Amino acid sequence: MTTEAPEAVTPLFEVFVRSKQGLDHKHVGSLHASDAQHALTLARDVYTRRQEGVSIWVVPSNAITASDPALKSDNFDPMASKVYRHPTFYDIPDEIGHM
Amino acid sequence: MYTQAFDIVVAGETSPVADDGDVQTAFLARIARDEKIEPQDAMPEAYRKTLIRQISQHAHSEVVGMLPEGGWITRAPSLKRKEILLAKVQDEGGHGLYLYSAAETLGVTRESLVEALHAGKAKYSSIFNYPTETWADIGTIGWLVDGAAIMNQVPLCRCSYGPYARAMIRICKEESFHQRQGFDIVRSLCEGTPAQKAMAQESINRWWWPTLMMFGPHDSDSTHTGEATDWGIKRISNDALRQKFVDVTVPQAAFLGLTLPDSAIMWNAERGHYDFGKIDWDEFWRVVKGDGPCNAARVSDRVAAFDEGRWVREAAAAHAAKSALSKASLKVAA
Amino acid sequence: MAESRLTALPESTLLTLADTCLLWGHRLSEWCGHGPVLEEDIALTNTALDLIGQARALLQLVALRRGDEVTEDALAYFREPEAFCNLMMVALPNGDYALTMARSMLLAAWFVPVWDSLAQGTDRPLANIAADAVKESRVQLRHASDWVLRFGDGTDESRRRIESALVSLWPYCDELLATTVDGTDQAERNASWRASIQATFDAATLSMPALPDAATNLLTATASASRLTLLAEMQSLARQHPGASW
């Protein structure tokens, strides 16, 4: 049993994988590693065991700044009323066809 | 993929957490609208605590679950089986990792969770406190234990907590080969020599009841089910899942020509389900509380790996610190 | 048609490669579930899987040429220990993580140029295997070299451990360098081996031990005894059920 002081926390990295050329990198999870380079090599083994990717990014978890969930309504609800930004807002005569 | 009875709580081991009524009401309304809860969202303290306990139990189960099967990697009877088993046990490690990551979004560190496991304060699926005595056990674990776990886990893909649900989706996807490879092992044994077939039957005899226990106490006896259901963590009751498992497994055993060790198993046309015998709950609680055949060995194996790995982790951290320092001084020089 | 699937390389060469991969993969598989960190446990198992896959592919070539219903499993599970042709180093027990990583680096640094030249060779069946294997060995080399660097340039304890690992493995390097692999240039391979090890040693501020003369009888005996134990375990179940399918 461990009686020494609790172990230092190994840095946490967020992992992003590009599943195939031409697509965005997508967040897939996180892992612990001593540094970014180490995180990158481990991410290959942890997150692409089934050929899930062609490219990997790792980002220290504490480098991410997130929007406040309490401000979700304030931030994003106002966009709901801007219906004119969407093509379906406009009527195009049938005679014109596809536009 | 291994969990039993998610969130097993031994009577008297936790204390209820008081919560602000307003947070509670708003939160339950969100759950009722089937909204997903994400890490930074407001959540009742009891919800957070329950999730940490359940997700970490689940993660520990995956990692401890590497041990009983891992012991047969070196003895796998063909190179193909050796590869499959290695890949499967490795997946379990991966699943433990995804789950620890999900737990960490709730503000705990993996280190603290692992310490709790090593100190004997955290639970894990008690199925892994049973020994793997023969090669057939490797097949049985895949077929029955993974089969039961899949039934438990598929509903969790819809769990209210986003990171847990996403981890479960990934796990269930990867998991789909685990049960099949187990069935395939048992099937080869059943189609093999008389000695192989006997090995399969003997293994099923030992694992059948512990597998049924994996679904946890009867609904009438599980104190936490109500809360977990209200919070959108648990979607289907223990007994309903157990029944579903029995219903699909009985015909599979018949196909293999194996006898399940329960003379009470019989089709009940009225219920539209198989009836089955009584579970020995004394055994279940004995194993949960630490008195199973392998409890001490499993934890001490994990502790040994952790302790022997300490200098490795320290070396990696020291090297990373030195490299960061020398990079910083290069920048200053430039 | 069947002709083109047969390799022209001597069986001793095929078995040297196959048995080395198999036994080394077996040793690494022993770490599964016991690694120093969960992430590393997963990473090392990938290497074990690569090696067992390489061994299978090579044993299948041998089996195909022997005919008479010989299979990869017959070769792996029913050959006597003294018929195995592995490099001695791979049979030794795992020891600590420094010993495992040092050994992984020394072997991968040997395999990379071997696979590389076989991949470019004219022996198609082997070239196909080598083309895949060289990628896997490069990953293995990078992974192991990174750890040797971390240990050399980590803590006092890790430096002490990696130095002692290298001292105990070094005598077995003589065999590594003396072994010929048909279809590859021994001098080029050894130069490549030295260069890649040297680069890691430099980065880790470790000094390369002097190469001793040929392995002593004691070393050979130790490696044979280790192989005997390893195979006794690996072959135990298969041999209890001769003729069984799994």
Closest CA–CA distance from residue A24 to any residue of chain C (Å): 25
The answer to whether B327 contacts chain C (CB < 8 Å) is: no
Q: In which band, very low, low, confident or very high, does the pLDDT at B7 lie, cut at 50, 70 and 90? A: low
Subunit contact A12:B98, Cβ cutoff 8 A? no
Mark out chain C residues that contact chain A at CB-CB < 8 A. Answer: 37, 39-40, 42-43, 46, 139, 142-143, 146, 150
Which residues span the domain enclosing C197? Answer: 10-240
| DSSP per residue, B212-278 | HHTT-S-GGG-TTHHHHHHTTS--S-HHHHHHHHHHHHHHHHHHHT---S-TT-EEETTTTEEE---
Tell me what pLDDT residue B176 has. 84
Chain A contacts of B94, Cβ < 8 Å? Answer: 46, 49
- The shortest CB-CB distance from A49 to any of B40, B94, B111 is to B94
Mean pLDDT, rounded, of chain C: 94
- The shortest CB-CB distance from B97 to any of A35, A46, A50 is to A46
Burial B71-85 (b: 16+ CB within 10 A, else e): bbbbbbbbbebbbbb
Q: Which chains touch B (3 or more CB pairs under 8 A)?
A: A, C
Q: In which band, very low, low, confident or very high, does the pLDDT at A2 lie, cut at 50, 70 and 90? A: very low
The answer to whether B316 contacts chain C (CB < 8 Å) is: yes
Tell me what pLDDT residue B233 has. 86
Cα C14 from Cα C58, distance rounded (Å): 6
Give domain status of residue C216, yes or no. Answer: yes
The answer to whether B226 contacts chain C (CB < 8 Å) is: no
Range 196-225 of B in CB contact (< 8 A) with C: 196
Closest CA–CA distance from residue C234 to any residue of chain B (Å): 5
A66-95 pLDDT, tens digit each: 999 889 899 999 999 999 999 999 999 999
Q: Percentage of residues in chain B with pLDDT exceeding 70?
A: 92
Chain C contacts of B185, Cβ < 8 Å? Answer: 246
Q: In which band, very low, low, confident or very high, does the pLDDT at C34 lie, cut at 50, 70 and 90? A: very high
Tell me what pLDDT residue B225 has. 66
Q: Percentage of residues in chain A with pLDDT exceeding 90?
A: 83
pLDDT at B21 over 90: no
The answer to whether A45 contacts chain C (CB < 8 Å) is: yes
pLDDT at C120 over 60: yes
Tell me how far CA of residue B275 lies from CA of B5, B246, B269, in angstroms: 21, 9, 10
HSE-CB of B65 using CA atoms within 13 angstroms = 33
pLDDT at B163 over 60: yes
- The residue among C39, C44, C148 with the most chain A CBs within 10 A of its CB, best to mutate, is C39
Lowest mean pLDDT among A50-64, B6-20, B308-322: B6-20
Q: Which chains touch A (3 or more CB pairs under 8 A)?
A: B, C
Give domain status of residue C2, yes or no. Answer: no
Give domain status of residue C32, yes or no. Answer: yes
Tell me what pLDDT residue C6 has. 79
B208-248 pLDDT, tens digit each: 999 999 999 998 887 666 788 888 888 889 999 999 999 99
Q: Which residues on adjacent β-strands are paired with residue A16? A: A27, A57
- The shortest CB-CB distance from B317 to any of A8, A12, A30 is to A8
Subunit contact B86:C45, Cβ cutoff 8 A? yes
Q: In which band, very low, low, confident or very high, does the pLDDT at B316 lie, cut at 50, 70 and 90? A: very high
Closest CA–CA distance from residue A8 to any residue of chain B (Å): 8
- The residue among A42, A44, A51 with the most chain C CBs within 10 A of its CB, best to mutate, is A42
Tell me what pLDDT residue B3 has. 45
- The residue among C34, C77, C226 with the most chain B CBs within 10 A of its CB, best to mutate, is C34
C4-26 pLDDT, tens digit each: 677 888 999 999 999 999 999 99
Mean pLDDT, rounded, of chain B: 91
Q: What is the pTM of this model?
A: 0.92
Give domain status of residue C224, yes or no. Answer: yes
Q: In which band, very low, low, confident or very high, does the pLDDT at A6 lie, cut at 50, 70 and 90? A: low
Give domain status of residue C246, yes or no. Answer: no
Strand order in the sheet with A12-18: A25-32, A12-18, A55-60
Give domain status of residue C29, yes or no. Answer: yes
Higher pLDDT, C152 or B6: C152
Tell me what pLDDT residue B4 has. 44
Give domain status of residue C3, yes or no. Answer: no
Q: Are C237 and B189 in contact (CB under 8 A)?
A: no
B83-133 pLDDT, tens digit each: 999 999 999 999 999 999 999 999 999 999 999 999 999 999 989 999 999
The answer to whether B91 contacts chain A (CB < 8 Å) is: yes
Closest CA–CA distance from residue C42 to any residue of chain A (Å): 6
Tell me what pLDDT residue B2 has. 44
Lowest mean pLDDT among B151-155, B223-227, C194-198, C220-224: B223-227
Question: Domain holding C124: CATH number?
Answer: 1.20.1260.10
Chain C contacts of A33, Cβ < 8 Å? Answer: 39
The answer to whether B118 contacts chain A (CB < 8 Å) is: yes
Q: Are B46 and B19 in contact (CB under 8 A)?
A: yes
pLDDT at B288 over 90: no
Closest CA–CA distance from residue A86 to any residue of chain B (Å): 26
Subunit contact C142:A45, Cβ cutoff 8 A? no
Subunit contact C55:B79, Cβ cutoff 8 A? yes
A48 to chain B: nearest residue by CA? B94
Subunit contact B75:C236, Cβ cutoff 8 A? yes
Closest CA–CA distance from residue B316 to any residue of chain A (Å): 6
- The residue among A35, A58, A61, A62 with the most chain B CBs within 10 A of its CB, best to mutate, is A35
pLDDT at C2 over 50: no
Sequence-separated (6 or more) residues with CB below 8 Å from residue B125: B2, B3, B4, B5, B57, B61, B64, B65, B149, B214
Q: Determine the residue type at C58.
A: L
Closest CA–CA distance from residue A87 to any residue of chain B (Å): 29
Tell me what pLDDT residue B92 has. 97
The answer to whether A46 contacts chain C (CB < 8 Å) is: yes
- SS3 for chain C is CHHHHCCCCCHHHHHHHHHHHHHHHHHHHCCCCCCCCHHHHHHHHHHHHHHHHHHHHHHHHHHHHHCCCCCHHHHHHHCCHHHCCCCHHHHCCCCCHHHHHHHHHHHHHHHHHHHHHHHCCCCHHHHHHHHHHHHHHHHHHHHHHHHHHHHHCCCHHHHHHHHHHHHHHHHHHHHHHHCCCCCCCHHHHHHHHHHHHHHHHHHCCCCCCCCCCCCCHHHHHHHHHHHHHHHHHHHHHHHHCCCCCC
Number of domains in chain C: 1
- The residue among B69, B78, B326, B327 with the most chain C CBs within 10 A of its CB, best to mutate, is B78
Give domain status of residue C82, yes or no. Answer: yes
Question: What average pLDDT does this structure show over B312-327?
Answer: 93
Subunit contact B80:C49, Cβ cutoff 8 A? no
